[in-house]
Chains A and B, each alone.
Chain A
């Protein structure tokens, strides 16, 4: 009987390579432990901006969840967040609906009843389908067309299909496509761009805004900053889209195809030198020049101050935070800190960072939040002076922690500066 959580050194992980990721790290090959991070990773409606909350990103929208009662149960948590009250409706399936799909015939009348019930006509009714309809093979586009006719408002589907979590188009990809699906062709404005990828805005102090403005951009759209439906429709005028999260790529492709808006991708990074080179490449691609020196210096100073005060402390890094756990770990190691443990699921793409961590800190251990053996995790066996991520806090409850999972999204140099300020506060 093994009474230890499964883990592997980053050196071993690197040696195995992306084609031979150990079975214990592959979600499909094992039962999934209900750790905090698992709830976010495995359950597309459970936490933060899951499908349900994300589906309501369009201003003035409401959602009808068509599902057995269980799928709507935790929606109460979302409804308690300001701005989400009175925006969720439920069409509950009974036992026979699960088998014969009779609930679908009630959707148009249900949408019409909701529209009549509301004081103001919604901009769109999002229909959220779940695993049952994934298995029944429901044609939601057809159901939505019928509902649209019955209710006289736009109706769009979004798919909370946890069953397709590791598929080609998982729920969080499709919901991003859904929320931009109402945009219609409009005359493009060369001084307008849209930022895609997150359901909340970037932090107000993010340098990306200032750099774009200096490059001549007058209007920067983000869905979370669209105060009303008209403003949301204005996203169609973008000269180009900036994709900050790869899960928005399908949405960006759709907008490129339907509206002719090209896009480019930027990655959230915590390695200052890589942030600089990404900005250089970005500026070059739009024919501009960025002077990012002040922002860069501020980030470098923040790291320097922290290092001076706390030395090479040990920082355990989780995945339930606004960063890629491996990229952030690599950055911390490059800045001179020790990263003894990383708690994260692994994808092929992470090997870009894993390779470098293996060179610099080969004994860093990687745990997966998904493994049933994490029941045995004992924080006393590992030393950490600080943890990053809410999941890491779960494993080291008595250690200072920076959750770093705020809704406003950190990006660029200001993300680095702000993170190190929070780390300083946590250790104060």
Chain B
């Protein structure tokens, strides 16, 4: 039995504050990482591949020990006020890290103080660095829709599609947003909004005018449910890029027929791939037996019996070694942890896991 929380091989995944920042990055707000510097550094230097290409007002609050110990929120608010006078920000977002989590920062009070002092809309995300990116995306979507979505949305735009769960952390490349727009446009959509990739605050404000929402990653599911409840917008879970993903896998139908296959990714991609492989093999007469697993949130409504939520590294070892899998499809950074797995390991990159897109080298400044 391994010590709880001990990782000997698998490196930590993108944390919740990176997920939060990834939703907000292109919206034109001032994004304040409520940290001492390291968390903002991780976001810009590692988890946010757009940082080198597109300038965004991502700032560290630059907290120091006495700021935290004495709870000097007023000092941080004053820093935000001063910066807001020098920048044309549409809103302010304050994103939590382990530091405010440790000192139990009152985010509601922070929001009220910041709104009063800057005159700008302010959202806060109580991320804490101990959860993974999907939690941060989920919270931030909800905050954005609650804060920005118009009460009186106006008429629904016929043929409009909103896509939730598309930030670089869940994407295959920086062009995923464009590919998804093309995908739906080519199928008759009049307007496509990818929330978190090429979207604007106005898109969030007009969320109620969208005809239907697509949830491409499970981190967008709660927001889709919220929009359904508030505006009646229907949603479905789907991975619009799954055909491209499938065709990139070096696996012919004959190689998967009748095989036991484990797919590890975020739940909706894993489900979509399962569905596609299952359909392929069913028609061949020897259906594959496929299990979906994820280190990230899994929703019961879209789970099948036997699907696995992985929480500890030791769970991963057991899953791989005790499952009698013929094929494992997962991010390449899990290869090493798969150890003596005797079957076939097929790479399915996940930026939130390895920090790499498929087929690309590093996209960072420091390498």
Contacts and interface: CB of A to CB of B under 8 A. Distances in A.
A42 B63 CA distance: 10
Contacts of B128: 68, 95, 98
B6 A113 contact: yes
B198 interface: no
Interface string B239-272: 0000000000000000000000000000000000
Nearest to A134: B65
Interface size band for A: 35 or more
Given A71-B98, A167-B65, A91 B5 contact: yes
Contact of B3 (A1, A39, A80, A110): A110
B102 to A, nearest CB: 5
B214 interface: no
Contacts of B16: 70
Contact of A34 (B40, B65, B333): B40
A203 interface: no
A72 B12 contact: yes
B87 A372 contact: yes
B88 A1 contact: yes
Most chain B Cβ neighbours within 10 Å, of A29, A73, A162, A163: A73
A43 B38 contact: yes
Given A73-B13, A90-B6, A131 B130 contact: no
Contacts, number: 243
Contacts of A284: none
Most chain B Cβ neighbours within 10 Å, of A34, A47, A79: A34
Contact of B7 (A44, A90, A166, A394): A90
A151 to B, nearest CB: 12
Contacts of B132: 69
Given A30-B83, A68-B15, A94-B5, A76 B355 contact: yes
Interface string B192-228: 0000000000000000000000000000000000000
Main secondary structure of the interface of A (DSSP, over half): helix
A34 to B, nearest CB: 4
Contacts of A372: 57, 59, 83, 86-87
B11 interface: yes
Contact of B41 (A42, A166, A167): A42
B62 interface: yes
Contacts of B63: 163
Nearest to B15: A70
B44 interface: yes
Interface in B89-137: 97-99, 101-104, 128-132
Given A34-B60, A92-B130, A135-B99, A113 B3 contact: yes
Nearest to A394: B365
A146 B313 CA distance: 24
A68 B7 contact: no
Contact of B86 (A1, A47, A74): A1
Contact of B8 (A73, A114, A162): A114
Given A72-B12, A93-B130, A94-B130, A42 B5 contact: no
A68 B101 CA distance: 11
A219 interface: no
Main secondary structure of the interface of B (DSSP, over half): mixed
Given A90-B6, A92-B5, A92-B12, A31 B61 contact: yes
Interface stretch (B45-53, B273-281, B320-328, B341-349): B45-53
B101 A73 contact: no
A75 interface: yes
A398 to B, nearest CB: 15
Contact of A73 (B18, B86, B131): B18
Contact of A77 (B44, B46, B99, B103): B46
A95 B127 CA distance: 10
B4 interface: yes
Contact of A38 (B3, B8, B15, B60): B60
Interface string A127-170: 00011101110000000000000000000000011111111000
Interface string A344-372: 00000000000000000000000000101
Contacts of B88: 1
Contacts of B44: 34, 39
A45 interface: yes
B155 interface: no
A109 B61 CA distance: 36
Given A32-B37, A34-B59, A109 B11 contact: no
A166 B64 contact: yes
Contacts of B179: none
Contacts of B366: 39, 46-48, 77
A89 B6 contact: yes
Given A39-B44, A165-B64, A394-B365, 5 more contacts: A31-B83, A70-B130, A75-B11, A110-B3, A161-B36
22 contacts: A2-B85, A32-B62, A38-B60, A47-B41, A70-B97, A71-B12, A72-B12, A75-B11, A80-B367, A89-B7, A90-B5, A90-B11, A92-B12, A98-B128, A109-B3, A110-B6, A131-B38, A131-B97, A162-B35, A163-B68, A167-B65, A372-B87
Q: Which 7 A-B pairs have the closest CB atoms?
A: A43-B41, A42-B37, A70-B15, A70-B129, A162-B36, A69-B12, A31-B59
